[in-house]
Amino acid sequence: MINRTQVYRWALPTLLAILILSACTAQSGTPTETVLGTGEVKEVTLVDTVEASGSISPRQVASVGWETSGAIADVATQVGQQVESGDILMTLDPNSVPNSLILAQLNLVEMTSPTAISAAQNAVIEAQNAVDDAQVDRNNLDYVNQGAIDDAYAQYVLAEQKFQAAKENFDRLSYKSEDDPGRAMAYQSMYAAQVSRDSALYKYNSLAGKPTNLSYEEADSTLTMAQYRLEEAQNYLKALLGEEVPPDATGDSLLKLKETRMTVDSLNLRAPFAGTVSAIYDQEGIVVANNRSSVVLVDRSKLYVTVQLTENDVVRLSIGNSASIIVEALPELALTGKVITINPIGVVDQGVVYYDVQVELDQANDQIPLNSTASVTIQIGEPQLGLAVPVSAIQSDDQGEYVLISANGGSQRVEVVSGRILEDDTVVIQGDVEVGDQVVLVQQSTSSTTTGSGVGGAGFLMGRQP
């Protein structure tokens, strides 16, 4: 007969273990799939892009400063005004400038006076006459006038005859003393006849003989120099009269006139390029010093964005790549542009090399604030066609990713490789699918169950039995 006390001693540890196990929570998870319907395989245009941000900058910005000092006499512009290159923006009082500039004004008045203009006109006439004479001399080298040659020879023959007669007469009297008047008169007649004969012979040889190369060179050089002097005289006269002069025109007088006019023009503050006046710092009566900037001019004919790209991105770019730009302050503006410069020299920042890439905007919109932040998306290469399905069509298991193609009341598993997720919650895929295929859309979830009870809920009564 078994003792009850022994049974209780044996059962107590066993019951305690059962109670501990019962107190533990048991959880189990089972994956489940809910079919949402079907979607369609669509063809999409894929564009490889690089994104970065930068700030808007204009084509040119200049702080226009003075080249001399003085008091401002006139402000000829206002903020927001469009000006052309060379327009006068401000003018100084001519009596308030340094003495050297006052002297230059007096010199310019003298150089452009009626007397100076008359002298320049006479210089042109004289230079033209010199050209005409040089041209005649040059033409004579190539001209053969047989009549003139025959006439010159006839003059030489007569001169020779007179010389021989005079020589014979002198020879008859040559025995007399040098103090004899008859002998002296005979010598004078012979010498004069000899000079006339030699002159006639020179003239004949000049007309009948062929000019030497040196004669041609001298005549050409004389004509060329005369033409240069005429051109210089004409350009100087044009400049005095305020007419247009070729930019490469030379001549000491012309250069001096230009220098004087440039010096006097320092009274004016001129626009260095066409643009918009964005700031005016000084007004009439203000005394300014040399190099003082009184106007800021902006050329907004072209706008740019400069972005910094890493070496991995910049090697994929090319000059001419198209870009889309969004200005943060004006996100509704649809802006486009293209890459125009890629700086080949990078800058290291915290161990990363960055390269400046400049994008020129196709639209020079006046609404765009300068230096405002802009996001730039640069298109790399040409757009490519691809296939995309809704994200919920992609399923996966131990064998990889796949979609289920719905057809003829059933479904077929097709292996795919997913890629980039697009903005419309579709994903690019590669696989044996075609445009228009219906794919099953599923929602995957995991269900879980929990069983168990605490020690108090076990329903056991422990204690001594009667």
pLDDT tens track for 252-274 = 999 999 999 999 999 999 999 99
Q: Which two tokens stand for residue 433?
A: 């699918």
- For 24-28, 317-321, 344-348, 380-384, which range has the lowest pLDDT when averaged over its residues? 24-28
Confidence band, pLDDT 50/70/90 cuts, at residue 31: low
Predicted pLDDT at 12? 40
Query: Range(s) for CATH 2.40.420.20 in the chain?
Result: 31-43+385-445
Beta bridge partners of 338: 322, 360
Residue 319 — φ and ψ, nearest 5°? -60, 130
Domain with CATH 2.40.30.170 in the chain: 49-59+299-383
Average pLDDT for 86-94: 97
Return the pLDDT at 206: 79
Q: Has residue 91 got a pLDDT over 50?
A: yes
Q: Which residue has the tokens 């103090």?
A: 179
For domain 31-43+385-445, the CATH architecture is Beta Barrel (2.40)
Residue 98 has pLDDT above 90, yes or no: yes
**How confident is the model at residue 212, as a pLDDT?**
82
* 3-state secondary structure at position 162: helix
Q: What number is the average pLDDT over the span 143-152?
A: 86
pLDDT of residue 190: 95
pTM score, whole prediction? 0.60
Band of residue 20 on the pLDDT scale cut at 50, 70, 90: very low
The pLDDT value recorded for residue 25 is 43
DSSP helix/strand/coil, 372: coil
CATH 2.40.128.20 assigned to 49-59+299-383: no
- Per-residue pLDDT at 85: 97
Q: What sign does the dihedral 197-199-202-207 (CA atoms) show?
A: negative
Average pLDDT over residues 326-340: 94
207 vs 426, residue with greater confidence: 426
Section 411-421 average pLDDT: 91
* Cα gap 307→354, rounded to integer Å: 9
